[in-house]
């Protein structure tokens, strides 16, 4: 039986991702219980597991209500204290989702928060607030070096891997990518495609890692065009790839 993946919109721009096989589903980062409870009620599906990538409230706020309706395992990062997480996971762990039956690998992607994890299986990745389309998470707790390492790990996954991030930030990411690389035609092409998708009310997530390698400046810190832009921001050549990344991350915060 095939696993189906689809998103439930939450808050202004969050996605709560659902993995469904048969009548069973697992949900990723339910910041709000209401959309999940509505979905369960209207579909007749059974919630079998909850996956959490990091501790922020817009990813965890629905845990208590969901777990009180149906006692299910709640997987979450061992490196963060999150109420309701009863299956702490760490880098390299493999978990099998009850009902849904899928085995997922846990990848440490600390940076946005200090214990942030992602869940991977060949073909798809749930990365929370680590990688966005043409962007990446803000540095709340970790260092630029940590986030850079996390993004490098994601970039090394097979290019066809579909990334299910937790926010619809793509249009904003493309504006930033265009500022970093004004002559990158892949960014311009993606901008037109995303504008059409958003005008039609369609999500721009998931997206393939291959698209990010061509358009996401945070994954392109070794490209001459990106290095040159970082040098202009610094007023001198950047020392190394990490400094390029750090310049971009700081710029993005005030962009």
| List of residues contacting Zn ion (CB under 5 A) | 56, 129
Q: How far is the CB of 110 from Zn ion (least distance, A)?
A: 12
Nearest approach, Cβ of residue 57 and Zn ion (Å) = 9
Using the minimum distance from each CB to Zn ion, give the nearer residue, 129 or 211: 129
Cβ–Cβ under 8 Å, residues 113 and 55: yes
- 129 or 168: CB nearest Zn ion: 129
Q: What is the smallest separation between the CB atom of 167 and Zn ion, expressed in angstroms? A: 9
What are the helix (H) ranges across 181-240? Answer: 185-199, 209-215, 224-234
Q: Which residue has the tokens 């629905």?
A: 62
- CA geometry: angle at 149 spanning 145 and 155, to 5°? 140
CB count in 10 Å sphere of residue 222: 11
CB 32 within 8 A of CB 61: yes
Specify the residue, 39 or 116, whose C-beta has the smaller distance to Zn ion.
116
Residue with Cβ nearer Zn ion (165 or 244): 165
- Nearest approach in angstroms of CB 140 to Zn ion is 7
Q: What is the dihedral of CA 60, 69, 99, 93, to 10 degrees?
A: 30
């Amino acid at each position: 039986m095939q696993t189906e993946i689809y998103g439930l919109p939450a808050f202004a721009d969050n996605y709560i991702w659902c993995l469904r096989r048969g009548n069973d589903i697992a949900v990723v980062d339910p910041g709000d219980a209401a959309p999940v409870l509505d979905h369960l009620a209207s579909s007749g599906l059974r919630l079998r597991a909850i996956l959490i990538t990091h501790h922020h409230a817009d990813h965890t706020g629905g845990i208590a209500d969901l777990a009180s309706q149906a006692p299910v395992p709640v997987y979450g990062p061992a490196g963060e204290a999150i109420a309701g997480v009863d299956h702490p996971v760490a880098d390299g762990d493999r978990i099998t989702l009850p009902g849904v039956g899928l085995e997922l690998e846990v990848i440490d992607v600390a940076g946005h928060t200090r214990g942030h994890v992602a869940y991977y299986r060949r073909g798809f990745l749930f990365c929370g607030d680590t990688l966005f389309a043409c962007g990446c998470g803000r540095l709340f707790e970790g260092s630029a070096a940590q986030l850079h390492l996390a993004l490098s790990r994601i970039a090394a996954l097979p290019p066809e891997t579909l990334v299910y991030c937790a926010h619809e930030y793509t249009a904003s990411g493309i504006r930033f990518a265009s500022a970093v690389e004004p002559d990158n035609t892949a960014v311009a092409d993606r901008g037109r495609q995303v504008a059409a998708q958003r005008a039609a009310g369609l999500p721009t997530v998931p997206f393939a890692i291959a698209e990010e390698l061509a358009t996401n400046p945070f994954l392109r810190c070794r490209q001459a065009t990106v290095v040159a832009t970082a040098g202009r921001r610094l007023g001198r050549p950047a020392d190394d790839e990490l400094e390029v990344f750090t310049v971009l991350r700081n710029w993005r915060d005030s962009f």
